[in-house]
Amino acid sequence: VSVVTLLVVVGPSKLWSNAQQTYNKWMALTMILDKIQRFYVDEKDPDQLLADAIDGMLSGLDPHSIYIPADQAADYSRKYEGYYGVGLTFHVVDRKCTITSVAKDGPAALAGILIGDRIQKIDGQVVSEISTDEMESLLGGNRNQYVSLDILRPSQNLVMHFDLQKRKIDIESISAACMLDTITGYIRITHFAESTPIELDLAFAELNGVGMRRLLLDLRNNSGGDFEAGIAVADRFIEGGKLIVFTQGRAPQTSGQFIATSSVTFPQLPLVVLVNEKTASDAEIITGAIQDWDRGIVVGRTTFGKALVQTEYPFQDGSILLLTTARYYTPLGRSIQNENVLSDEGKSPAVAPKKFKTPKGRFVSDGGGIQPDFEIKKNAKSIPALLKKFYAEDNDYFLKFADEYIVTIPEETRPKKQNDFLAAFQMDDVLWNRFSNWVSNQPALKINSGDLDSIRFIVAAELKIALAWRLWGDEGRNAATAAVDEEVQKSLQYFEQADKILLN
């Protein structure tokens, strides 16, 4: 077989012609903007005109190619790159500002501030007299700024003053890592950031150390994030030397293969991956690699179908362009792009989904997201009207009770280990009677004990979440939520299939 290489030489005149045409079009755009500013019947903001022009250019592409103005770029970057502050979150109930989480190694944690402490003043301002937005603004800000806090520790009736220097705080991408039972570990990843692989290593090691023999990986509502972090997470589950994903773009540097290494691979535990219609991008890369290599069982609902890679182009004014520069394909060569989210110009001709055979003989298909091996239908149950009363008007009566209840328990007898609490918690008659009496003394609720008895099972689950939140912050709340999550519980039945596929 002979190969003929055709070399096409483009002369200087051709290059000059193309450049001149592009220049002429930009000149026309500039002149149009000038004419609008000078002669349009109504005065227009030139910055808004330029923003509209940019939006017009991008509207003919795909919906994931977007321009983020400078005043919005900070909010976009916060999720993936962190923020400047002191590393705490809070929840306001009855004008009491209770700290619900403290970032590890953040200024607040290093100063000794604890979950359950109450903020009384921020920079001398009484928190009950300012809005939540104002509180967040005072606690956030720029690097090296200081903020003063007056903190009440209810269990000791102690008021403390802190002067904290703000610094960069990473937003953790693993919202929960806990044991669902004596052998099942659970890890939920909400997005992918630079820190995600390290977070995952720590969570896996901790669960492995308390007897985990199988893992439920929850990627629901995970829309992606840092591409390299997603690849690194997949590397933990795929054997060294195997393909994780490959990309193809118009520019040479956007095409490539990403191969798993052997240095960071986790032990081969039975694995179930839980996904839904909001699982996208990096999360789909991981799910696709696990499914293609028969590494685990995928359950839930068909994923979003975003098989496009965006490159971030930051500009000097602080704005950002996210431009789709490549498509990605699973190890078997599947494109799971949902064509319905593309513009007419970006759509491929409609074709029937192709079938692909995995190494262990299972069939999977391309197009329109990743289809789970086993479907878990969306829970259509409505929230009882009685339960809604506990959250009416931005209140959280469960957290309010938990806060008051925990304070009455001596610190030395409080639950110490989150996993032990989640496994052992029961709404016994003593706690139920105490809660019921407390509810009857909340005039705004207007709930009698007979009505409350009718939703005792639901109340027990909500109270378990609130107590875990009060004891261990957001991590405790998320873990307790997973423990009572119906989709999580349904996922457990598929570990039998995960065992079989691992041993086959």
Co-location of 366 and 351 in the same domain: yes
Residue 347 has pLDDT above 80, yes or no: no
Model confidence pLDDT, tens digit, residues 99-110: 988 988 899 999
Provide the pairing of β-strand 271-275 with 256-259: unpaired
Closest CA to 84 of 167, 15, 206: 167
Co-location of 224 and 349 in the same domain: yes
At which of 128, 143, 169 does a domain end? 169
Co-location of 131 and 205 in the same domain: no
Model confidence pLDDT, tens digit, residues 391-437: 887 778 999 999 889 988 888 888 888 988 998 898 999 999 999 99
CATH of the domain at 152: 2.30.42.10
CA distance 501 to 270: 8
CA distance 504 to 492: 20
Provide the pairing of β-strand 66-68 with 297-300: unpaired
CATH of the domain at 275: 3.90.226.10
Q: pLDDT band for position 22 (50/70/90)? A: confident
Point out which residues pair with 364 in neighbouring strands: 356
CA distance 93 to 394: 8
Co-location of 255 and 395 in the same domain: no
CA distances from 182 to 272, 479, 485 (A): 16, 15, 17
Total domains, the chain: 3
* Secondary structure class of 295 (helix, strand, coil): coil
Co-location of 217 and 363 in the same domain: yes
Q: What is the pLDDT of residue 18?
A: 64
Asked if residue 45 is part of any domain, the answer here is no
Closest CA to 233 of 272, 204, 269: 204
Closest CA to 150 of 120, 177, 175: 120
**Helix (H) / strand (E) containing 436:** helix 429-440
Co-location of 130 and 234 in the same domain: no
At which of 378, 397, 413 does a domain end? 378
At which of 125, 152, 169 does a domain end? 169
Co-location of 136 and 211 in the same domain: no
Q: Region 262-268: what's the mean pLDDT?
A: 91
Q: What is the pLDDT of residue 5?
A: 33
Closest CA to 244 of 254, 234, 255: 234
Least confident of 225-234, 422-431, 445-454, 459-468: 445-454
Co-location of 90 and 195 in the same domain: no
CA distance 236 to 264: 6
Model confidence pLDDT, tens digit, residues 140-175: 877 778 999 999 998 788 999 999 999 888 888 999
Asked if residue 318 is part of any domain, the answer here is no
Asked if residue 198 is part of any domain, the answer here is yes
**Token code pair at residue 166:** 């703000």
**Token code pair at residue 127:** 């928190």
Q: What is the pLDDT of residue 429?
A: 93
Question: What is the domain range of residue 464?
Answer: 385-490
CB contact set of 389 (below 8 Å; sequence gap of 6+): 397, 445, 446, 447
How many residues does the structure list for the chain? 504
Asked if residue 467 is part of any domain, the answer here is yes
Residue 49 has pLDDT above 70, yes or no: yes
Cα dihedral value 71, 72, 78, 83, nearest 10? 20
Q: Which of 32-41, 187-196, 310-319 has the highest mean pLDDT?
A: 187-196
Residue 328 has pLDDT above 70, yes or no: yes
Residue 6 has pLDDT above 80, yes or no: no
Q: What is the pLDDT of residue 438?
A: 93
Co-location of 286 and 392 in the same domain: no
Q: What is the pTM of this model?
A: 0.85
Q: What is the pLDDT of residue 341?
A: 56
Asked if residue 118 is part of any domain, the answer here is yes
Asked if residue 62 is part of any domain, the answer here is no
Handedness of CA 128, 130, 131, 134 (dihedral sign): negative
Spell 246-273 as b/e; 16+ CB within 10 A means b: bbebeeeeeeeebbbeeeeebeebbbbb
CA distance 394 to 373: 39
Co-location of 367 and 288 in the same domain: yes
Least confident of 93-97, 196-200, 268-272: 93-97
* Secondary structure class of 284 (helix, strand, coil): helix
Point out which residues pair with 256 in neighbouring strands: 247
Closest CA to 435 of 390, 371, 491: 390
CA distances from 68 to 95, 261, 400 (A): 36, 35, 39
Asked if residue 461 is part of any domain, the answer here is yes
Asked if residue 235 is part of any domain, the answer here is yes
Co-location of 159 and 291 in the same domain: no
Q: What is the pLDDT of residue 10?
A: 45
Residue 16 has pLDDT above 60, yes or no: no
